[in-house]
Amino acid sequence: MRGFLKKRWHGIPIGILSAVLAICLVAGGALAAYNFLHIGVSLDVEEAIYMSIDAGDDLDIYCSGVCPDIVMTPSDSTLTVTMTENPDVDASELTPGEWVVFPINLRNRSDASLTVSATASGGSGQVDLQYKMGDENGPTGSWADLNGWSYGMSPHEGAFGSAMSGATVLFVRVLVHADAAPGTYGFSIDFSRA
């Protein structure tokens, strides 16, 4: 070790040169690691599942008799549907034993497979909410309880309207029980996806 400290390079002790070189390397490494570019990203993620009811290229709402006056009021992620008697059309009220079917267009705009689910509530035991799956040609299968419905959608499944070729359609039927008392009944359907 003593021999190392006695060695010189151009008259400068090697030990001092080694220490200065080590300090320069550490300082250079610290200076070389500074941030010279910052990239900030703002990203809007849109909902992947597109749903439409009674829009331009969608199937029409249909009923067991004369359809009541149906008004749909969209607001953000909520759609309020009001069904009342149309005073200009005879027998347009919804009476016990009658039903209304809402064809709901489903379209997965994502590259991923997604599952759509529904939870239904309300109706006071006088109104049933039922569903059938289908396409632009109509529903298939038997009517089943909508509460707890779940459907796995493939990437880009569906069309821009339920009346278009390749459409994936959820047919929701609002069925008034034959023994339902006259009155106003409310219900709700919450859709979610995973």
Torsion of CA 60, 61, 63, 69, to 10 degrees: -120
**pLDDT for 72-130, tens place per residue?**
887 777 788 888 877 777 766 788 899 999 999 999 999 999 999 999 888 788 899 99
Write out pLDDT tens, residues 118-168. 998 887 888 999 999 999 999 999 999 999 999 999 999 998 888 889 999
- Mean per-residue pLDDT, 180-188: 86
Buried b (16+ CB within 10 A) or exposed e, 91-109: ebbbeeebbbbbbbbbbbe
Could you tell me which of 133, 170, 136 has the C-alpha nearest to residue 59?
136
* pLDDT interval class at 31 (50, 70, 90): low
Look up residue 187 and give its two tokens: 């219900």
Amino acid 55: pLDDT: 84
Residue 8 pLDDT class (50, 70, 90 cuts): confident
Q: What distance separates the 2 farthest-apart alpha carbons in the chain? A: 115
Query: Span 25-38, mean pLDDT?
Result: 72
**What integer pLDDT is reported at residue 14 of this predicted model?**
76
Residue 4 confidence (pLDDT) above 70: no
Mean pLDDT value across the chain: 85
**What pLDDT does residue 65 have?**
81
pLDDT at 2: 64
Higher pLDDT, 44 or 77: 44
What is the share, in percent, of the chain residues with pLDDT greater than 90? 38
What average pLDDT score do residues 161-189 get?
90
* pLDDT of 22: 80
Distance CA 23, CA 179 (A): 92
pLDDT of residue 71: 84
